[in-house]
Each structure stands twice: as structure tokens, then as C-alpha cells.
Structure 1
Amino acid sequence: MSLQKISQPHINVDPVGAGQGFFLSDSQVRLIVSGSVNLFMGGFHKTTGQAMGPFQFIAGLDEGELLFPVGVSVESGDVSYRLLAMPQTGTEIRQSRTSWIHLIREDEEIRDRFERFIQNLLTPFALRMPPARTHVITQSDLKKGASLQFEKGVSFRPGQEILWVELKDGFCLLNEDEEQMLLAPGSTFPMSPRMWFECQDPVSIACRTTARLVDTPDVGGVMASIYRQYLRAVLMTAAFQRHGRLQRQEELVTYEQNAIKGLEQQLRQLVLDRHAVSDSTKTAASPLLMHQVIQRIAHVWGMTITLPEPGAHMGPAHSISHSTRLLESCNLYHRTVRLDDGWWRQEGMPAIAFRLEDQKPVALFFERGRWMCFNPVDGRETGVTQSVAQKLQPHAVSVYIPLSGRVSLKEMLSVALRGLRTDFKAVLLIGMIGGIIALAPAWLMSTIFNTVIPAADMFGLFQAGVILSSAAISGAFLVLSRSILMLRIKTRSSFQLQAAVWSRLFNLPSRFFSRYTAGDLANRVMGVDAIREHLADNVTIGCMTLLFAIPNLALMLYFSGSMTIVGLMAILIFVSLMCWVGYKNYRNQQQQYKYEGDLAGIGLQVLTGIAKIRMAISENRAFIRWAGVLGEKIRWQSRSIDNMNVMAVLNALFPPLMTGIFFLIIGSQWRGTMLNVGEYLAFTAAFSSLLVAFTGFAGVLPALLTTGALYKRLKPILEATPEIVETKEPAGEIDGNVEIRNVTFRYSQDPVDVSRDDRPAPPVLKNVSITARSGEFVAIVGPSGAGKSTIARLLLGFETPETGGIFYGGIDLSSVNLRDLRKQLGVVLQGGGLISGSIYENIAGASGMSMDAAWEAARSAGLDQDIEAMPMGMHTLVYNGAVSGGQQQRILIARALARNPKLIIFDEATSALDNEIQAHVSDSLERLNATRIVIAHRLSTIINADRIYVLETGKVVQAGTFAELIEQPGLFQQLAKRQMV
């Protein structure tokens, strides 16, 4: 085995950091025996060797892959950029005795692994599919000669392998992207099948395979030159990406600066002339303009919304922040989007945009097949063209359709179909024309067999053929047009409906989610798309097909009324049988969907808790539970399949049965029925079209029943009362004063006997009163089950007290917008987790705070030194399980402190920290001018609390300072003695 040559223990001769990574700077080949290795390009100071800025991720290599040396660097100022390998924890690496050049020349398998290594390095340039017009370089091209010529504008790429392209004449652009690399004459660069070059001039290239490249006498020097070219390309790509991010940040800063200038101008004018209103004041951006823009977007949806008074603090009147705060005050979900070139040629959601010249807001919405722009200054609506789009700023705020209050199926479907009326009219028109065209084959068949063929009229036969061909082509185009329109309808309605339902799900109270597993809930929500699919494909198309098949019924009556009556009665019997089978299948589908949701929930629970399952040696029990639900699902699914088989048999049996019945009627001349060959063929053709239409219509009832089963599972989400409703007032700016006044709370059901809904659960909190004044440090302690975490949930509005109330600055929590309130709180709860992303993204969240602010929050949480020790600093990617428990807890603390909240709520937030870090976090909290409510088991963390409340069985049994309570006989003293060493 050739890989046995790579058997030496790995020696890190050129380490980076504290043994966490190494440069590929020697000449050895390394084998990843187990684990994985990530490749980065990093910048390092040429003198000190210190890492400079974030690393650029290249690719991830798994077990069995080879690492080849890349012992070159490129320099930019005082920074040297090199390729860096970073093994994951537990990775085992072996290295070769001899150099890579010797191995690659003598061993074909290692040469193949070298190609795979190069393909991994090329990953940053192979993220897009090549255009369809690209010329593919094949083996036959390589055999034609040493050089290939391409004209200007032509793109080329390799076929199925890595090619080493040497450019002899002309210039080429990598991936048609000026942000990546321009290849100059004399350069050599590797290409994978997912990369391409666009010729900027007539070019001449020479291509070599890897086998020919490694036979080059100076392959080491050639590869060093290629690697330098490669690193420059990666560096250029990373620089353009950073430039793009900085440009977007500068644009946002420009918005804010222009907003401030506009406000200063208005204020200056008011001071100079209190009684005169200048033209500039009349035309300046006003908060009322934004109100009109949002109201116009609401009108597009057929909604009315209530906006806060213009005087409310919402940020500068002509800024993105102002629009987003107004939308949030109306409980409308939104996201900031970039208006790329040609955006007005595609459909999209309504958006708020801003004009370049004066930063005034405008409303953009798609209507009657084109984008419209509403200007609130003059109330005009104009179609968006390229000239109009160029006058708008590059960023806009896209707004999503909400589902508020209790929602019925009718209201849900109206949301899905908003803005699609024109498309539906076009579908109906196409169907009507198609129904008329469908009569041509049956009518012409009668004419051909009765008149044309007996008369040997060749010209008439030719005319009939032309008419039939035209009808077939026209029908095909109509079907294609209808399919495209239905695809547009389904795509847009799916996007609108999914966004509305998910936004509603995010708006439901937290106690709602305790009733369902995550997998089951996701399965229920995704049922929205299945409902839309059934209604669009089965109900809508089935009804329209039947409607447009009525002309066939008229044609049948024209040829034979008696046969038409028999055929129609047979069709009705057939449709009734199909509907009966579909109804029988309804209960099976209900149960099938139920067990599919249960299966999704159990699967997610098992996968997320696999470590705990293994620790408890409960794999068999988990498998038994999963397999039991799977068996039930398969049992009901099998019944559904049996019913579908019955329907398939009926579909196959009915047409030949009806042909036999028609033969019997004609043969017996029942009721004088006499048809010649042409009339019979025309009749049967019309009957076949009518049968197809009724067969499609027979699927309407099963589709409606299936829709009912899916809607029944979705109904709890649509009927649940949202947590945030329009009638609640904005929270305003809190002052840090919090009061829990005479609160009694119980969960909705007896946790011991969940089968008895009529027995109320015992109260978790009993007449609890707690006060925290602005700037105070208040602690809540007690044994497990005393109700401490329940207090935290009540403070956040996750639960509603049975009696009493929660007051922020004297305002009842139940009367304010909870989303506004929570933005002003810094919270760390038990079981809090990280999001998959960088440390910066975990700390900043969606706030868009600066990097300096994130570092300050990290220092307050005692996390700065840990981050500095990581190779990529704040840009290090983390997720649950990727960092230690203490580091995860400190990231969550940094996130809570990042926005300088007026109120901080910690629920066992420092349980995983050692005493030194705990003291540092406590000192940081002391320096904050914020109210702190800390729930803790470790009493050493609350020694400096201004007031401590001791809970036992849901009651406050003691209250006072640490010094006071430690001297009083009671529960606190007992808890303290247990923790003393």
C-alpha cells in the first residue's frame, strides 16, 4: 500500500500559536490518519510573527486526505501571508520520510491524492457553476497540439480533471470576476471543472495534466511560482470581500450622517424663523413620509395598521433604523436587502427604499407584472425602470406579510394569493381557449372518416392534418404557458405563506412551545406548503379542467344523446367510487401525519441528546421508542397505499369497460342508436377528454380531505394568541426599577397526572413580592424547585401570573410590547446555547455593533484573553460543544452585557466559572449602572448584593443583606453552612 510510506510521527517543525496549527513549510507529505484538518490563509507580521487580522478559510480535509507542502508566502507591507493547517482536537497525523517530489513521481495513488489536495485549495474559486456557454477542454483538445487558441469573450474550463493552464498570449479573467484574478501572459494556474477563465483578448494557452506537470525537471520551482500566484488570488478575493463589507458599513454611516444634517437644517430654520416655513422645510424628510410609505405597503396587502405618533423616538426620519423601528412597533417582520443590478426585473416582497438625492423614503411593490414606486411627497406612483432604480440607494428594507390574531384557513389562503389575481385570470383565459381547441381533434376525426377518406380527398386530408397539427402545437404552448403561470403562483404563494406562518410562529408565547417537540412543530409548520400544493395541483387544476371540458359534453350530445346519458351516469358512478375510497383514506392520512410529526420529534430528540443517551446506556430504549412510532406510521401508511392501489385499479379498469358498453349499445341499436365510424371515433374522443376531466375532479375530494388533515395539525399555531399584539403600547425606555407584586403562579396542568385536565396544578409561586430599584444588585436564592427560574420567566414575560403583576418603572408588563422591553434587557438563562457562527456574531447578534464594542463586552465577561489566544480571534467559529462550558457561559454573559442594558437578569449564569473569572465578572457588573437580578446557588457570588430574597416552596421566607441573613437562623444560614469548607 503506497500510503504506508507515510508512517512517521508528525513533527510540528513550524508551529503557529500554542500548538494549534502549523505551516506546510517543509518538504514532507502528511497523512490525516484520523480526525480532520482545516486550511486557512493567514497574515503574520514579518518581524514578530503575530497574526494580523482574520484568517481566510480555504477548505476542510478529512480522514485519509494528504497534506502537501506549500512553502511559499506573499508579502504586503509588513505582513506575510502563508497557508496554515489547523487540526481539530484529537486529529492524528503521520508524515513521510522522503520529499513530496520523490513520492509524487513514483506513486500514482499519491499523485491522485495530490490532485485532490489541489482541488481542495481551489475551493474558494469554485463556488459557482460555470456558464452554459463555456467551452470544455477535452482529451481530444489536448491531443491536437501543444497550444489552444480562443477568441476574445470566450470562456473555457477543464472537463473531469485538474488541468494546469499556462497562458502564452493575451489576458484571462478568473470566473469572469474582476474581484478575483486577472491571469497575465507567462502565468500558470490550476483549474478544476468548477472554474473557468474568460478571455479578455485573443489568447493562446498550453494545458498540462498533473502527470505531465510532475515530470517537469524543476517541478519544485514551478509549483512554488504557482503557489505564489494562488496566494495572491486568494488575498485579492479576501480583500475585495472585506472592501465590500466596509463599503456597506460606510453606506450605513452615510445614511446616519445625512439624517443628522437634515435634522440640523430643520432645527436651524425653526430657530431663525419661528413663524415662517421655508421651502426646504416643506420638502425635508419628515417622519410622516415614512408613515405614508408603510401605510401604502399595508394597502397593497389589503390591511390597516396603527403606527405610533410621529413624535415618538424612532431614529432619524430618513434612515433604515427609523423604518425598522416603525415596522417593529407594528409587529411587522422585515430584513435589510441590497438592490443589485436588475432587481426591478424580478418579483419580490414590498420594500422601503430611499432616494439618493434627498434620502426620502419611497415604497416599492410588485403589481400587475411590474415594480411600482410610491413617492409620499407628491403621492405619485410610477413604474420602476433602470433610470428610476439608479436614483435609489443600494439598500432597502423588505417587509413581510403578517398573520395577526386568530387566523382561519380562508385568511391564510388570502395571504398566500395576494397579488396573484392577474396570474389567475391568465390561467382561466388559457383554460378556456384550451377547452375550445380540444374540440378540434374529435370534430375533425368525424369529418375525416365520414367525408374525406370515402371521397379520397387528398387535399382535404392535408388540410385536416394541418389543422390537427396546429391544434396540437397550440395546445402544447397553452399547456406550457399554464404550467409556467401555475409555477409562478405556487412559488410566490409559497414564499408569502411560509414567511407569514413562520413570522407568526416566532410571535407565539414561549409556553406554546412546551406542548410540542421541536420536530413535531417543524412538521406542522411545513404542512403549510403541502396544503398549498394540494389546493393548487388537485383542487384548482381539477376544477378548471372539469369546467373547460364542458364543450366535450356538448359534442357528445350532438352525436348521441342516449350514449351521452349512459356515459355520464357511468362517469358519476366512477367518480363516486373514487371519492368513497378517498374518504376512507382520510383517517389513514390523519394518523399517518400524526406519527410523522411524532417521528420527527423523537428523531430530533435522539440526535440532540445522543451523548446523554450513551452515558445512560439507553441506546436500546431510544431505538425501541423510535421504532415503535415508525411501525405505527408504516402501518397507517400501508393502509393509505392499499387505498391508492384500489384507485389505480379503478382508473385502469374503467376506460376499457366503457368501450365495451358503447359497443353493446351500438351493436344492439339501443333506442335507435346508430353511429358511423367517424361519429363513433369523434364521440369516444370527446368521452375520453370528459373522462380525464372527471378523473382529475375526482381527486378534489381526497385533496380537500388531505388539506383538512394537514390544517387540523396546523390549527393550534393559527389559533394561538400571539405574544405581541398591536393593542399593546411601546415599552419606551426603562429606568431599571422592577417590582414583582403579590404574584401567584401555577403551570397549566398537574405535572404528576397529566391525564387529568380538570385538576389545577399546585402553585409554584405563592403571593411573592420582590422589589429591585434602579442600580441595585438583588439576588434570589433557595433550594431546587423553590421557583427561582420561574421568577426569571415571569420577568421576561414568558409566563403570565395568575394573580398580582410585574411592573417595570410602574408600568404593568402585561400592557407593553414585550419585544421592545426585551431589547433593553441583558439576560442569561439556564441552558442557554450558542448560535453557529463566529464569536463576534454570538456577542453582537443582530445589533450590528462595532468590533470595539464586542471586545469591550468580552473584557467585561473575562473572555478577552481566551479570544486573543484563538488563531482567528473574534472571527473564530463556535457552536455548542465547540468550546468549554466556562467559555460558552462567558460568551453568553458578553452577549447580555454588549448593549449596556438597564436591567440584567442572570439565572445560574456563572455556575461553570472558576472563582477568579467569577470575581472578574462580578467586578464588571459592579461597574455597570444597571439593575441586576441574579439567581444563584453559589452564595459566594452574591456577597455584595444590596438585598437577597430567600425562596422556599414558592414563598419568600427571608429577605435582607448577606451579613444580616448569615446571622439569622433560617434557610439561608443552612444553605451557607452546606457550602462552607
Structure 2
Amino acid sequence: MIFDDQISKRLDREKQTLREVFGDTARDMGFKLDFGNSMGSDNRVLHRLLEYLKVSDYHLDDDGIFTPDEQLERILRPRGIMQRRITLDGDWWHRAIGPKLGQDCEGNMLLFVPRRWVFGYKCIDQNGIVRKVDAELMRQVKSDALDFFYALPPRRLKGRELLLFAIANMPWSAAFAVILTAFFASLIGMFVPFINKEIFNNVIPNGIMSDLYPVAALFGGVVVGCAMMEVMRNKLVIRVKDVLSVTLQHAVMARIFTLDTSFFWKYSSGEITNRVTSIRQLCDLANNAILGAVITLMFSMVYVLQIFFYAKDLMLVSMLLLFVQVSLLVVYAVQMHNEERELIEHKAMLDGMEYNIFSGIQKIKLTGSETRAYTKWLNLYRHCAHISYNPSVVVKVMPALIAFCHIAGIGVLWWFAIREKVSVSDFIAFSVAYGMIASALQALVGIIPNLAQVSPLLKIAEPVLDSVPEYQPDAPMVDYLSGAIEVSDVSFRYNNTGPWLFQHFNLKVEPGEYVAIVGPSGCGKSTLLRLLLGFEHPQAGGVFYDNYDLSKCDRTSLRRLVGSCLQNGSLFSGDIFSNITITAPGSTIDDAWRAAEMAGIADDIRQMPMQMHTVVSEGNSGFSGGQKQRILIARALIAQPSILLMDEATSALDNISQKQIAEQLDKLACTRIVVAHRLSTIRHCSRIIVLDHGEIKEQGTYDQLMSRQGLFYKLAKRQIASSEEEI
């Protein structure tokens, strides 16, 4: 894989830097040495990539300390730009989207970017030489590459800005081709009125059969030409839709992943899914409506010239009739917009409820609540059904009224044609041209319901756009942590009117220290860990890792150095290997087994038919609570974190398994902070902190706290007396 072995690459870069310095020194002394490609050559390609991605205010390392993908990670991720590894296979340049970074067979970096006004890709090498990407070039290129996607700006956005983002990332080659095909289809269509005039003006009066053949051939050519233009246009519209949909979906999903955790508390999973889906629906609507009927209508206006040319006496009447139809369309569109807005709002709530019902169907059956759940769903569905099946009179009548105006308009024009003594051939040609404009207007009737959904769908997506991402481009990256943690004068409560959980709270943890946090239920143990991870934000004070202020540094890079296993953690669909290694991309199967051994789950995995590749289904069925917890612990340990945070991570384990994990934790050299109730978990901790009502009541070793006979002693004695290892 490209840039796969990080350590090896870094050593190679250091050697390359040494060779460059040695070569520069030798050249200064009059010798000519060539050690091959330089780091600067790679950076030239990276510069072009960053310019293409519209990234500014960045610095590329020229000393070989960071590999190219590490540099890109440090520059792009704080800006929300995602990257992934891909394989360039087949004729990928005909169907791909966005820039790609690859290598030739000699290891030289190459940049592949879409050509702007024509289809396909171009390749830019380290020397700035631009070549067209084709099969011959790809034979000299490795198949592994990096793919990049644009990101939405890291600020509050409005629906208008989302549309501008889509326009900025429009595949203009395909969009321009759509406009051209619509234009040429309109030009070809202008032959139809001309042919009709010739038939009624010359062919029929002359009565010569041979005159029909060239006219028929011309008419057939017009039909074939229009059909070909329509096929090409539809194919191009699909291409534009796919590009916009993929670009917007990636940008929105990247934004979702970078939003603060408070966003996910406000909405259910079903509601979030519906809001993200609304973006994709917007892409479909925009393409079907704007690139479809609207562009066709625009170019149908060329037939106005033919109307004037064939029967200028009917020009004013025809324009008045068209104006009446357009006015009716506007009234229809406004009414549809109002009804679609209400329908989409209710559908969003309905979709969210359906998702929650399906995800919680086991609990519904367990409590016998099927009837109540169905009744609640039916009440919401009733509102959607009422709007869908009982539209207003305007919505019911308007399509038929517009069609009637079109037919009646032909009769009015026929009467005026007789009065103005327009010839039959001219009137036939005029009628065809007028009919084409009216037909384009009639096509708008079919897409107005789609256009009416644009504003409501933007309203549905607004919470995603209005939320500010967690990342900030200027936040410093965290590459190393010694393990020191300080909570300084922190005051916190969940809302402005709720009680304070912490007031002027202070805590300091030294590197490598093993700290246990205990206390009665509701004292703030889990909340403290959420504050340490940046999932909650204090109203006053701050959390510091070494010299990094958690509120000002890049929290994602910091969390990568912190292993965590919190309450109610869950596995995701996939296999056990993927679940363990998700926190450490690039980990091998041996790394996963080592983490599983430390978590005491390795023997259980070996007994499974597929071992590490055993499938984890949605809902984690097939795994006991203890097995699930141990897999989560393995996930926290595999990256060998500088700091380990665990919140009731062994609550579902039996005493033997819990003791094995406690022994493994004792051996770790990293800073460990555990929230636990069992005495066996905390007995060997270097410090035990006793919380009560958001305050540190006691702290010390197990023996010290027991000898004081304070709050910890009471909790411990209660556990010992009840023969249950819970405090």
C-alpha cells in the first residue's frame, strides 16, 4: 500500500535528507553528485495537491521528519478534508471523482486531477509535466493511491452556502455538455416547424410523391438527432448527479464525524440519518429539475423567434397565453412548496420514529409494548397520509387547469389566425413552434413538486449545517503525550439552569500513575472522564495534557494517544479484527492477538470458528456482555496509548477474568485512570480518589484510606459485608 510502512518510510526520509545535505556540501566543493529524488520533489507535488484542494496557510516539512501521508494528515484533517486508500483499476479515469495521489513504478509521486472542461484526468509529475491519463500511462503507475474529498467550511453554514459549495464542485465538463446537448436539441427542433410549413406550402399543393422523400428524410434526421441529443443529455445528467451526490455526501458525512458530541444528544439516530439523506435528495432534485426540464425550457425560448417569423400578428396573443400559463405555474409552485414543507417535516419525524422502533424492537417485545408503539407510529403516519392524500384544491385542480389553458389557447390562436388571415402553412408552422414552448411549460408541471421540496429539505439539513465542527484549522496537533494530566479550577454543569456537578475542581495526575476514581452513584465519576476526553466542556477552568489545553488543541489527534473504554460501549457490524483495530489503522493480525491476550479474550476468540474474522452482527448478538467488554478493552489497548481511561470496563466480567485484566493493567507503564466499583480492580492502584458531590473527599492508597476509616472505608466495608465486590 502507498505510504504503508510509516517507520520504514521515516527512516528512508531521514537517510534521503542526509544524502541531500551531503550532496549540497559536495557540490559546494565542486563535485557533482546525484542521489536521486529529493524530498523537495515530493513536496512540489503536495503543493499542487493542496492548491487544488484550496488549502492555504500550511507548511510542508523539508527535513524528512514526516512522511508524505503524515504531512497530509496533519494539514488536511484539521480542515476536515478526508482521505482514503484506493486501488486504481480498469479505466478509472472515466468514472472517478476528485484528485488522487499515486506513484509511478520508480516510486516518484504523481498527482491525478480531473480535466476541467473536457472529460478524463490529467497527470502532473514532480517536474510539473502534465500528461493525459490513459491506458498507456497507467501501465507505468502503481495501482495503490490516495483519494481526497472536499470539506465544508468549519463554521455555521446556511442552505445557500451548501448550494454554492455544490456549484463550486460541479463537474463543469459534464454540466457544459448538458447545456450544449440541450441547445443543439433545440436548434434541431427548429426544423420541425419549417418541415411542416414546407409540407403544407409546397408538397401537398403540388401533389408530387417524389417531393415527400427528401422531406421525410429530413424529418427522420430531425427525430434521430433529437433522440440522440436526449440520450446524451440523460447520460450526462446522471454523471453530474453522481459527482454532486458523492461530493456532497462525503462532505456532509465528514462534517457529521467532526461535530461535537452534544449534537448527537439532541437528535435520535433516525433523525440524523434523515437529515443526511436529505442532502442526497437535494442532489437528485437539483439534477432532475434544473439540469432537466429547466434547461430544456430555457432553450425552448428560441422558438419565440419562429413564432414571430411565421405569424407576427399572433405574437402578442401567444405571449399573453404563455404568460397566463406561467402565472398559473407560479401559483401552483407556491402552494406545493407550502404543502411539501409540512409533509417533509412530518416525514422526518416519522422516519426517526421508525428507526428507533426497529432498533429497539427487542425491548418493545420484552415489555409487550407492540400496541403502544404501533399507536404512536400511526398517529405520526396519519398526519403524513392526510397531507399526501388530501392536498388543497389548488394542488388538485391546477395541473388540469394548465392543460386546459394550453388546449384552449390553441383554439384562441386559431380564431385570431382566421381573423388576421394567416396562411395555413404559416399557422401550422406557428402552431408547432408554439406547442413546443407550451409543452416545455407543461413539463414544468411534473417537476414543480420536486422543486417545491428544495427549501424544506434544506430546512431538514439545517441542524447539520448550523452546528460548528469540533476541529479548527489553526489548532495545534498533538504528536506525543508524557501522560501528565491536570484539571484546573473546573466548574461544570450540563445546562445553564441545572445543578453544578463540579465547582472549582482540581486534579493532577503524574505520568505513569495508576489512579482509581470511586464514589457513590451520581458523584460525577463518569462525567469527569467525559471532561477529560473533551466530550463535555466546562463552564470555567480547563483540562490540560502536558502543556496542551484540551479546548485549544486538536482533540482528535490527542484522543488517538488516549485509550478509552467507557460505559455502554458497543461493537459495530464487521468482524472482531476490525472492531479491535479500528483505533490503530495499519495494525496486523498479530497486533490484534496481542491486544486480545492482554484483554483476556484471546482464548474465547480461538474457540470461535472464524477466530479473528468472526462476524459481529448488529446488536452484538452472539457475544456475552463479558466478551463484548473484553473486546472493547482490547480496542483501547492495541494502539499502546500514553493514557488509558476506563469507566466500569470490567463490570460484566467474572472474578477470574477481572483479575486477569487487573494484572495486565498493573504491568502497563502508561498513565491509567479507572472508574470501578470492585475492590480487586483498585486495590493495587497507586492512588485512589474518592468523589462525593463533585468534590474530592479523600485520596491515597488502599491501605491509607482504609486506615482513615472515612467515606472510602464505609463503601469498602459495605461491599465486604455484603460479600459482593462493589463499592
- TM-score, length-scaled by structure 2: 0.92
Q: Hey, what does 1:894 align to over in structure 2?
A: 634
Among 427, 430, 438, the residue aligned to 1:691:
438
Among 124, 129, 143, the residue aligned to 1:380:
129
Among 381, 386, 392, the residue aligned to 2:141:
392
Deviation string, structure 1 residues 171-221 (Cα, Å, up to 9, x no partner) = xxxxxxxxxxxxxxxxxxxxxxxxxxxxxxxxxxxxxxxxxxxxxxxxxxx
Alignment-mate amino acid for residue 805 of structure 1: G
Among 107, 119, 123, the residue aligned to 1:369:
119
Alignment-mate amino acid for residue 724 of structure 1: Y
Structure 1 778/304 Cα, relative in aligned 2: closer, same or farther at 3 Å? same
How far apart, CA to CA, are the structure 1 residues paired with 2:62 and 2:646? 35
Shift of 1:254: 7.8
Alignment of 1:128-147 (within 5 A): none
Alignment of 1:794-805 (within 5 A): 794-805=531-542
Structure 1 600/507 Cα, relative in aligned 2: closer, same or farther at 3 Å? same
- TM-score, length-scaled by structure 1: 0.69
Deviation string, structure 1 residues 234-265 (Cα, Å, up to 9, x no partner) = xxxxxxxxxxxxxx6xx877897576446435
Are 1:889 and 1:912, in contact at CA under 8 Å, matched by a contact in 2? yes
How far apart, CA to CA, are the structure 2 residues paired with 1:483 and 1:310? 47
> Does residue 416 of the first structure (1) align with residue 166 of the second (2)?
yes
> Does residue 945 of the first structure (1) align with residue 691 of the second (2)?
no
> More helix by proportion, 1 or 2?
2
Shift of 1:470: 1.2
Q: Hey, what does 1:706 align to over in structure 2?
A: 453
Q: Hey, what does 1:433 align to over in structure 2?
A: 184
Q: Hey, what does 1:725 align to over in structure 2?
A: 472
Are 1:256 and 1:316, in contact at CA under 8 Å, matched by a contact in 2? no
Shift of 1:659: 2.6
How far apart, CA to CA, are the structure 2 residues paired with 1:862 and 1:708? 54
Among 32, 40, 44, the residue aligned to 1:292:
44
Are 2:193 and 2:433, in contact at CA under 8 Å, matched by a contact in 1? yes
Q: Hey, what does 2:251 align to over in structure 1?
A: 500
How far apart, CA to CA, are the structure 2 residues paired with 1:503 and 1:688? 48
Structure 1 833/678 Cα, relative in aligned 2: closer, same or farther at 3 Å? same
1:805 partner SS: strand
Structure 1 640/315 Cα, relative in aligned 2: closer, same or farther at 3 Å? farther
1:292 partner SS: helix
Shift of 1:345: 4.3
Alignment-mate amino acid for residue 712 of structure 2: F
Among 926, 929, 933, the residue aligned to 2:669:
929
Bigger RCO of structures 1 and 2 (CA < 8 A, at least 6 apart)? 2
User: Structure 1: any 5+ residue segments left out of the alignment?
Assistant: 1-247, 750-759
Are 1:583 and 1:702, in contact at CA under 8 Å, matched by a contact in 2? no
1:453 partner SS: helix
How far apart, CA to CA, are the structure 2 residues paired with 1:788 and 1:740? 14
Among 840, 843, 856, the residue aligned to 2:594:
856
How far apart, CA to CA, are the structure 2 residues paired with 1:258 and 1:949? 44
Give the aligned CA root-mean-square deviation in angstroms: 2.6
Alignment-mate amino acid for residue 902 of structure 1: S
Shift of 1:648: 3.1
> Does residue 834 of the first structure (1) align with residue 574 of the second (2)?
no
Deviation string, structure 1 residues 524-554 (Cα, Å, up to 9, x no partner) = 1111122122222223433322321223222
Among 950, 955, 976, the residue aligned to 2:695:
955
Alignment of 1:104-503 (within 5 A): 257=8, 260-261=11-12, 263-267=14-18, 270=21, 274=25, 276=27, 283-286=36-39, 288-301=40-53, 303-310=54-61, 315-317=66-68, 323-324=72-73, 326-328=75-77, 330-357=79-106, 359-367=107-115, 368-376=118-126, 378-406=127-155, 407-417=157-167, 418=169, 420-503=171-254
Deviation string, structure 1 residues 932-970 (Cα, Å, up to 9, x no partner) = 111123344212222222222333333333223334454
How far apart, CA to CA, are the structure 1 residues paired with 2:621 and 2:317? 71
Shift of 1:830: 0.9
Are 1:579 and 1:699, in contact at CA under 8 Å, matched by a contact in 2? no
Shift of 1:928: 0.8
Are 1:767 and 1:955, in contact at CA under 8 Å, matched by a contact in 2? no
Shift of 1:511: 0.9
User: Structure 2: any 5+ residue segments left out of the alignment?
Assistant: none
How far apart, CA to CA, are the structure 1 residues paired with 2:23 and 2:212? 91
How far apart, CA to CA, are the structure 2 residues paired with 1:819 and 1:280? 43
How far apart, CA to CA, are the structure 2 residues paired with 1:460 and 1:709? 57
Alignment-mate amino acid for residue 369 of structure 1: F
Shift of 1:266: 4.0
Q: Report the count of equivalent residues.
A: 712
Shift of 1:802: 0.7
How far apart, CA to CA, are the structure 1 residues paired with 2:378 and 2:653? 41
1:831 partner SS: coil
Deviation string, structure 1 residues 462-481 (Cα, Å, up to 9, x no partner) = 22222111111111111112
Shift of 1:362: 1.8
Structure 1 476/738 Cα, relative in aligned 2: closer, same or farther at 3 Å? same
Structure 1 602/905 Cα, relative in aligned 2: closer, same or farther at 3 Å? same
Shift of 1:562: 4.6
Shift of 1:918: 1.0
Are 1:840 and 1:875, in contact at CA under 8 Å, matched by a contact in 2? yes
How far apart, CA to CA, are the structure 2 residues paired with 1:461 and 1:540? 37
How far apart, CA to CA, are the structure 2 residues paired with 1:313 and 1:951? 48
Alignment of 1:89-104 (within 5 A): none
How far apart, CA to CA, are the structure 1 residues paired with 2:503 and 2:405? 71
Deviation string, structure 1 residues 92-121 (Cα, Å, up to 9, x no partner) = xxxxxxxxxxxxxxxxxxxxxxxxxxxxxx
Q: Hey, what does 1:616 align to over in structure 2?
A: 367
Deviation string, structure 1 residues 815-874 (Cα, Å, up to 9, x no partner) = 211111111111111111112222222111251212222111111111122122222222
Q: Hey, what does 1:577 align to over in structure 2?
A: 328
Are 1:539 and 1:699, in contact at CA under 8 Å, matched by a contact in 2? no
How far apart, CA to CA, are the structure 1 residues paired with 2:90 and 2:100? 16
Structure 1 878/421 Cα, relative in aligned 2: closer, same or farther at 3 Å? closer
Larger radius of gyration: 1
Q: Hey, what does 1:910 align to over in structure 2?
A: 650
Shift of 1:913: 0.8
Are 2:293 and 2:444, in contact at CA under 8 Å, matched by a contact in 1? yes
Structure 1 268/300 Cα, relative in aligned 2: closer, same or farther at 3 Å? closer
Q: Which moved more, 1:330-339 or 1:798-807?
A: 330-339
How far apart, CA to CA, are the structure 1 residues paired with 2:42 and 2:377? 53
Q: Hey, what does 1:143 align to over in structure 2?
A: none
Are 2:26 and 2:33, in contact at CA under 8 Å, matched by a contact in 1? no
Alignment-mate amino acid for residue 365 of structure 1: V
Alignment-mate amino acid for residue 678 of structure 2: R
Deviation string, structure 1 residues 704-757 (Cα, Å, up to 9, x no partner) = 4421111111122112111011110111211100111111122236xxxxxxxx
Structure 1 699/953 Cα, relative in aligned 2: closer, same or farther at 3 Å? farther
Q: Hey, what does 2:292 align to over in structure 1?
A: 541
Are 1:403 and 1:501, in contact at CA under 8 Å, matched by a contact in 2? yes
Shift of 1:310: 0.7
Shift of 1:509: 1.0
Structure 1 416/631 Cα, relative in aligned 2: closer, same or farther at 3 Å? same
Deviation string, structure 1 residues 35-94 (Cα, Å, up to 9, x no partner) = xxxxxxxxxxxxxxxxxxxxxxxxxxxxxxxxxxxxxxxxxxxxxxxxxxxxxxxxxxxx
Structure 1 747/655 Cα, relative in aligned 2: closer, same or farther at 3 Å? same
How far apart, CA to CA, are the structure 1 residues paired with 2:20 and 2:233? 59
